Amino acid sequence: MVSIVPNNIQIEDDRTGIDIETLKRAFLDNLFYIQAKFPRIATKNDYYMALAYTVRDRLLNRWLRTTQTYLEKAPRTVAYLSAEFLLGPHLGNNLINLGLYNVVKQAMEELGLNLTDLLEQEEEPGLGNGGLGRLAACYIDSLATLEIPAIGYGIRYQFGIFDQEIKDGWQVEITDLWLQYGNPWEVARPEAALEVKFGGRTEVYTDEHGRYRIRWVPFKVMKGVPYDTPILGFQTNTANTLRLWKAEAPESFDFEAFNKGDYFGAVHAKSECENITKVLYPNDESHQGKQLRLEQQYFFVSCSLQDMIRIMQIQNLTLERFHEHYAIQLNDTHPTIGVAELMRLLLDEYGFEWDRAWNITTRTFAYTNHTLLPEALERWPLAMFASLLPRHLEIIYEINCRFLDEVRIKFPDDGDRLRRMSIIDESGERYVRMANLACVGSFAINGVAELHSELLKQTTLHDFYEMYPEKFTNVTNGVTPRRFMLLSNPRLANLITNKIGDGWIKRLDELRKLEDFVHDANFRHDFRQVKQAVKQDLADHIRTHYSIDVNPNSLFDIQAKRIHEYKRQHLNALYIVTLYNRLKADPDLDITPRTFLFGGKAAPGYYMAKLMIKLINSIADVVNNDPDVRDRIKVVFLKDYNVKFAQRVYPAADLSEQISTAGKEASGTGNMKFSMNGALTIGTLDGANIEIREAVGVDNFFLFGLTAEEVLAKKASGYNPWDYYNSNPELKLVIDRLASGFFSHGDPNLFKPLLDSLLYRDEYLLLADYQSYVECQERVSQAYRDSDYWTRMSILNVARMGKFSSDRSIQDYLQHIWKAPAVKVDVPEYTQSHSDLKLTF
């Protein structure tokens, strides 16, 4: 094989040197030769770009050596397929992982520039909605850090998740233009484009060996162009690839229209092709059955599978060994069409027999389920599916037929079971059920927290659990401590490193050594000062951007996540009104001052969620401006919650709101990010909250609310929200005040849909959990008054969060599912700067 990076390559110092003088020279070079600017006319963005290219030069050697190593050694590779990657800005993270943060900061200072300002300049790639996309980003970070051969496959949306503005208290969506000034971290590979077919029909033919074969005659063919982004490990030579696909028209496109002289028609049709990867669907935890979404899914999955096959061909490996070479993880059902696509490729394109192809396919895929919410389970109207993917539907019918035979053998005379497990839903209008296809086509099925994995087995996937108990496992989610501690909270990171060394960054369990210092008054003092300084930063941000003064000594109570009824931001709002009512009734009441902060986007078509944002802003308007409140409570809705802003928010919390209805939040990862930055959690026994509470200790967690079991029992016994309204005067007062128009300039109709949903249905049991929540909040307020006691609990939260590193999650996947060993990458020229771990800021 031809070496990609010959060992005798001339490495130019200006592109790799990491001393301050070289960095400065390289930066000014890039400003001149790439941005074509000189300092007098350069914008802040020009400086950012020049720095990004300077840093990129310094990681290319590792990236290419990693690629070369994988090509040569052909190791078992994890392919992480995800329709979303919510990456966050690259520059800061790459500086950290390269060990260049401080030296680059110094170099910039010597040029009169501020690194923090330049980092702020980066437009983050918002290629995801929330937790699911962010999980994919944390996992590719950990895969690289653990030196696992891996590739992330996804979609290069031209417009990621919308930017959120707030006008008159309502959410307004603005198009995300993340690519408008260019993206220095990606490399387009047009030479590696692949073709993807859509629509048309299938036909039967006999091949040269006299075998019966099927050929797909598509209606149209598109081109997928890969865009590669390096994903660096922390303190390793490994730099894996994130390969995102962009849709384009093939060169041959609509030749006929051109020939007929319909030039504009042809060009128009060409630009239509690019629509497939134009925009991210902005719904979190809900599914709509839109054709373009199915096109997106098939498009990126087909490109990715063809790409894996092509790589094996370069490596001279036979496709018989596909499952030995790749472990493909399906991040939710979004890429599940891959099961049928791999079958199609093996059967139709490479002439495999059915049994052989099925054996390979079912030893390749593993499926992660992310939700129990029925509205989020993907299913496609059969007619739509048939017109878009006719060959895949045939293959799915065959898979289903053989599968249902197996079910009949294991569970004879059980027609209901067959109907429930069928990949085709035939109960009314017919649908293709993607979760069923994923379960049948995968060798492993996992939930994302212990409770969630249990509930999957007991409810949503119960039939599949009875059929294939051996496939089921749990992998509790985790988050990367590099981005969410070291980069986002350098004050805390430095304090920790001063006490216990820097091993925790790669082995988060070492945080446990901090327990020794809980009894050290000096340490508690320093720890408190760190939190105070971070809160002050956020208070400054709020003053600058919202002209609201918040008291940095008040309890920072934060709920930041997508807005959803099951996450119950409105329960938090009910508590704020409760406190407000108490202050109105007794203006001298002695309460613990609190700042309630919210952040999160609502799906643009999700009316209730948008009304919840308006509700919070309306309460904020009244509370923040009522002289009776005397600044004891403040409410701020922080706009445009994204990864960049999340990095500011998690470290500043005293209290983390994790208050979903028990049984509804599969895991949560925000809960982990808060807790590892020293916030205490007020939460239900839901998702990973349960495991966080076990880890940090039940005394260091504020628990309230019904359990998942009690929720089900209550619903089964005929839950009536009016009972709670009628029997709880304080709750009644809150609802009545909201209904009266007090918070809506006298308009009693504004919040009526929300209040009606609570009083007449209350699917998420807010009224049932209200009293328990209020009482728990009182315990929080009391505890916060004893700042020494609070600080001890806060330190113990940090010290005991080791389990929730995404490194641990990836090790679980490796051990139980992927079984892909680490591969060391040798980079002869590379020198690691180990002295660069305590960030200056």
Ligand X SMILES: *Cc1c(COP(=O)(O)O)cnc(C)c1O
Residues annotated as part of the active site:
370, 561-562, 567, 669, 673
Nearest to 675 by CA among 526, 799, 839, 509: 799
Cβ-based nearer residue to ligand X, 295 or 657: 657
Span of 129-137, 162-170, 173-181, 417-425 interacting with ligand X by CB under 6 A = 129-137
Question: Which H or E run contains 117?
Answer: helix 115-121
Q: Which of 131, 226, 338, 441 touches ligand X (CB under 6 A)? A: 131
Taking the complex as a whole, how short is the minimal distance between the CB of residue 242 and ligand X, in angstroms?
17
Q: Dihedral angle at the C-alpha atoms of 288, 243, 123, 651, nearest 10 degrees?
A: 80
Q: How far is CA 700 from CA 87, 274, 288, in A?
A: 31, 51, 40
Taking the complex as a whole, how short is the minimal distance between the CB of residue 561 and ligand X, in angstroms?
3
Taking the complex as a whole, how short is the minimal distance between the CB of residue 541 and ligand X, in angstroms?
16
Whole-angstrom distance between the N-terminal and C-terminal Cα of the chain?
46
* Cβ(332)–Cβ(132) below 8 Å: yes
* Cβ(551)–Cβ(634) below 8 Å: yes
Strand, coil or helix: 428: coil
Taking the complex as a whole, how short is the minimal distance between the CB of residue 547 and ligand X, in angstroms?
25
Nearest position to ligand X, beta carbon: 670
Taking the complex as a whole, how short is the minimal distance between the CB of residue 649 and ligand X, in angstroms?
9
Cβ-based nearer residue to ligand X, 89 or 149: 89
Residue 329 binds ligand X, judged by CB under 6 A: no
The helix-helix angle for 569-585 and 607-625 (nearest 10°) equals: 20
Span of 128-136, 157-165, 207-215, 609-617 interacting with ligand X by CB under 6 A = 128-136
- Contact string (CB under 6 A) for ligand X, positions 666-685, x = contact: --xxx--x------------
Nearest to 243 by CA among 127, 123, 89, 92: 127
Residue 370 binds ligand X, judged by CB under 6 A: no
* Cβ(732)–Cβ(725) below 8 Å: yes
Q: Which of 240, 369, 642, 757 touches ligand X (CB under 6 A)? A: 642
Strand, coil or helix: 445: strand
Residue 233 binds ligand X, judged by CB under 6 A: no
Residue 594 binds ligand X, judged by CB under 6 A: no
Cβ-based nearer residue to ligand X, 136 or 327: 136
| Three-class secondary structure assignment of 316-365 | CCCHHHHHHHEEEEEECCCCCHHHHHHHHHHHHHCCCCHHHHHHHHHCCE
Residue 652 binds ligand X, judged by CB under 6 A: no
- Applying CB under 6 A, the site for ligand X has a residue count of 13
Span of 535-543, 613-621, 640-648, 809-817 interacting with ligand X by CB under 6 A = 640-648
Beta bridge partners, 227, equal: 188, 244
Q: Which of 65, 105, 134, 325 touches ligand X (CB under 6 A)? A: 134
Which residues in 554-583 contact ligand X (CB under 6 A)? 561-562
**Residue 38: partners with Cβ closer than 8 Å, 6 or more residues away:** 31, 32
Tokens of 156: 């290069």
Q: Which of 432, 542, 646, 814 touches ligand X (CB under 6 A)? A: 646
Q: Please give the full DSSP string across 252-285, using - where no structure is assigned.
A: TTTHHHHHTT-HHHHHHHHHHHGGGGTB----SS
Taking the complex as a whole, how short is the minimal distance between the CB of residue 157 and ligand X, in angstroms?
16
Alpha helices in 345-489 (DSSP H): 354-362, 382-388, 390-410, 415-421, 434-441, 450-458, 462-467, 481
Residue 294 binds ligand X, judged by CB under 6 A: no
Cβ-based nearer residue to ligand X, 113 or 449: 449
Q: Which of 643, 690, 696, 731 touches ligand X (CB under 6 A)? A: 643
Which residues in 448-507 contact ligand X (CB under 6 A)? none
Task: Give the separation between CA 587 and CA 584, rounded to whole angstroms.
Answer: 6
- Contact string (CB under 6 A) for ligand X, positions 8-27, x = contact: --------------------
Cβ-based nearer residue to ligand X, 494 or 656: 656
Cβ-based nearer residue to ligand X, 266 or 643: 643
Residue 58 binds ligand X, judged by CB under 6 A: no
Taking the complex as a whole, how short is the minimal distance between the CB of residue 529 and ligand X, in angstroms?
26
Taking the complex as a whole, how short is the minimal distance between the CB of residue 9 and ligand X, in angstroms?
39
Cβ-based nearer residue to ligand X, 134 or 531: 134
Task: Give the separation between CA 760 and CA 767, rounded to whole angstroms.
Answer: 11
Residue 89 binds ligand X, judged by CB under 6 A: no
Q: State phi, psi for 311 to the nearest 5 degrees.
A: -65, -40
Residue 130 binds ligand X, judged by CB under 6 A: yes
Nearest to 345 by CA among 322, 317, 368: 322
| Residue ranges in contact with ligand X by CB under 6 A | 130-131, 134, 561-562, 641-643, 646, 668-670, 673
